Amino acid sequence: MTSRVVERALDDMTLAQFRVLTLIASSPERASRIAERAAVTKPSLTGLLDGLEAKGWVRRVDVKGDKRGVRLEVTARGRAAQHAAERAMSERLGEVLAVLPADERARVVDGLGCLTKALSERFAVRR
C-alpha cells in the first residue's frame, strides 16, 4: 500500500525506474553491478534501462578494453527527473504523515533512517 501511495506521486516514472536511476546516480557502474544492487534480473534491468534511456535520463557508455562492457551514467535530465521525483515522494509522504502527532512523525522518520542505514550496511558487507 505504501509503495502505491508513493508511486502515485510520480508523474512518468515508476518506482523501479526511480530505484535504478538513484543507484546509477549514486555510483555509475556496469549494468551487471546495477542489476545486482537493484535486486533485479539482467533482462529486467535491460527493460528498465531502455525506458530510462528513451526518456533521456540515462546513457550507456562503452567500457574501454571490454567489447561487451557497458557503464551507466545519469544525464542532466535524469538528475532533474530524479530530484523532482524525490520532492514529489517527500511531499506525498508528508501529506500521509501529517495526520500523525509530531512525535510519531519523528519516530517514523527516524525508523526510515535506521532502515536505510541497515540496508546500506548490509549491501556494503555483501560487496
- Which residue has cell 527516524? 110
Task: Give the 3-state secondary structure of residue 60.
Answer: strand
| CA pair distance 7, 96, nearest whole angstrom | 13
- Cα 115 to chain centroid distance, Å, stands at 15
Question: Low-confidence residues of the chain, pLDDT below 50?
Answer: none
> What is the structure's pLDDT at 124?
66
User: 2-126 is classed in which CATH architecture?
Assistant: Orthogonal Bundle (1.10)
> What is the structure's pLDDT at 127?
58
> What is the structure's pLDDT at 14?
87
> What is the structure's pLDDT at 37?
82
> What is the structure's pLDDT at 58?
95
Instruction: Spell out where the chain has E strands.
Output: 58-63, 66-74
> What is the structure's pLDDT at 101?
94
| CA pair distance 86, 9, nearest whole angstrom | 9
